[in-house]
Amino acid sequence: MGRVLFPQNVADAMKGGWLFLLCVLMLLLLVTSTAAIGAETAEQAQAIPVPNPSADLWREVRQRDGIVVGKTQVAGVDSGALINPYGETWRNFRMQQLIPYSGYLLVGMLLLLLLFFAIRGKVKVNAGMSDKKLFRYSLYERMIHWFIASVFLFLALTGLILLFGRSLLIPWVGQELFSLLASASKEGHNLFGPVFVVALLLIFIRFVRRNIYQRGDLTWLLKGGGIIGKGHVPSNFFNMGEKSMFWLLVLLGIVIIGSGLILVFPLFGQTRVTMELAHLSHAITTLLMILVIMGHIYIGSVGMEGALDGMTTGYCDLNWAREHHAQWAERCEQEGQVVSEAEVSRLRGESSGGHIPPAGAQESGQ
Of 125-133, 232-240, 335-343, 349-357, the window that binds another protein (rule: CB under 8 A) is: 349-357
Of 106-114, 165-173, 179-187, 299-307, the window that binds another protein (rule: CB under 8 A) is: 179-187
Instruction: Name which position in 195, 201, 292, 304 contacts another protein (CB under 8 A).
Output: 195
Smallest gap from residue 22 Cβ to another protein (A): 50
* Beta carbon nearer to another protein, 88 or 187: 187
Smallest gap from residue 202 Cβ to another protein (A): 9
* Beta carbon nearer to another protein, 137 or 220: 137
- Residue 192 in contact with another protein, rule: CB under 8 A: yes
- Residue 187 in contact with another protein, rule: CB under 8 A: yes
DSSP string covering 152-202, please? HHHHHHHHHHHHHHHHHTHHHHHHHHHHHHHHHHHHHHHHHHHHHHHHHHH
Three-state SS at 346: helix
Stretch 100-159 residues interacting with another protein (CB under 8 A): 139-140, 142-143, 146-147, 150-151
- Residue 353 in contact with another protein, rule: CB under 8 A: no
- Residue 26 in contact with another protein, rule: CB under 8 A: no
- Return the sign of the alpha-carbon dihedral for residues 317, 110, 249, 192: negative
- Using a 10 angstrom Cβ sphere, with 0-12 exposed, 13-18 middle and 19 or more buried, the burial of residue 34 is exposed
Three-state SS at 217: helix
- Return the sign of the alpha-carbon dihedral for residues 111, 113, 119, 122: negative
* Beta carbon nearer to another protein, 162 or 221: 162
- Residue 358 in contact with another protein, rule: CB under 8 A: no
- Residue 347 in contact with another protein, rule: CB under 8 A: yes
- Residue 164 in contact with another protein, rule: CB under 8 A: no
| Count of residues near another protein by CB under 8 A | 31
- Residue 340 in contact with another protein, rule: CB under 8 A: no
Q: Which amino acid is at 119?
A: I
* Beta carbon nearer to another protein, 263 or 347: 347
* Beta carbon nearer to another protein, 295 or 357: 357
Q: Which long-range contacts (CB under 8 A, 24 or more apart) does 302-310 make?
A: 302/117, 302/122, 303/113, 303/116, 303/117, 303/122, 303/123, 304/122, 304/123, 305/122, 305/123, 305/124, 305/125, 305/129, 306/125, 306/129, 310/136, 310/137
Which one, of 95, 86, 49, 92, lies nearest residue 66 by Cα? Answer: 86
CB atoms within 10 A of CB 76: 8
Which residues here bind another protein, judged by CB under 8 A?
A: 139-140, 142-143, 146-147, 150-151, 179-180, 183-188, 191-192, 194-195, 198, 347-349, 354, 356-357, 359, 362-363, 365
